Chain A
Amino acid sequence: GAVVSQHPSRVICKSGTSVKIECRSLDFQATTMFWYRQFPKQSLMLMATSNEGSKATYEQGVEKDKFLINHASLTLSTLTVTSAHPEDSSFYICSARDLQFTPEAFFGQGTRLTVV
């Protein structure tokens, strides 16, 4: 099946620094990718929809200037957490669908961000 790869799988950064997370579709093209955040013992919360070649669409309450999303190609979307703070520590997950429309979404393995 199709594969979505996230990098890094875990990262620790200092408060005030920025962290970039990459999401790649390895064997298919994705015009749309989705970014989720998951806190411990909670469900996935959609943060934004990443659209290739255009601006991302953010969910209500998600700061677009803090969580920068770039979807420069059909196989790569990046999420940059700017000026990270301890409360940004979370599990970040991306997903994508195949342009050929297999109905299911494919998810990356997630990135565990810890801000110290």
Chain B
Amino acid sequence: DAKTTQPPSMDCAEGRAANLPCNHSTISGNEYVYWYRQIHSQGPQYIIHGLKNNETNEMASLIITEDRKSSTLILPHATLRDTAVYYCIVQEGGTASKLTFGTGTRLQVTL
């Protein structure tokens, strides 16, 4: 069963912020929120992860609600190269933990 719910697709104009939502209402206390993206015909790429605090790195920001039931991935200045399928995944910590992919959000960045 999917642990996350994401909209199937979104559009964003180049240069604008892309805000990708994710619902994970059944997340447990020891599960992290991970975001990956997959550009067409490539392996997925890690973007960012968090437990309960908001996180930012060179690629994106992750905003997690206080109840941890949802989160938003923010690409502050989307470019055409950000066109991809974005996956939100909840997972326990630990090296043996497997990633279960849902259907993701297909983000199309346009001129």
Spell out A's residues near B (CB within 8 Å): 4, 6, 31-32, 34, 36, 43-46, 49, 91, 93, 95, 97-99, 101, 103-110, 112
Contacts and interface: CB of A to CB of B under 8 A. Distances in A.
Given A103-B93, A104-B34, A104-B49, A109 B98 contact: no
Contacts of A32: 95-96
Interface in B39-83: 41-46, 49
B41 A91 contact: yes
Contacts of A104: 34, 46, 49
Main secondary structure of the interface of B (DSSP, over half): loop
Contacts of A34: 98-99
Given A32-B95, A93-B43, A95-B43, A103 B49 contact: yes
Contacts of B38: 44
A82 B95 CA distance: 29
Given A105-B99, A107-B44, 6 more contacts: A43-B102, A45-B101, A46-B98, A103-B49, A106-B46, A107-B43
A100 B96 CA distance: 12
Contacts of A36: 101
A31 B95 contact: yes
17 contacts: A31-B96, A46-B100, A46-B101, A49-B96, A93-B43, A95-B99, A98-B95, A103-B34, A103-B49, A103-B93, A104-B34, A104-B46, A105-B46, A106-B46, A107-B44, A107-B45, A109-B42
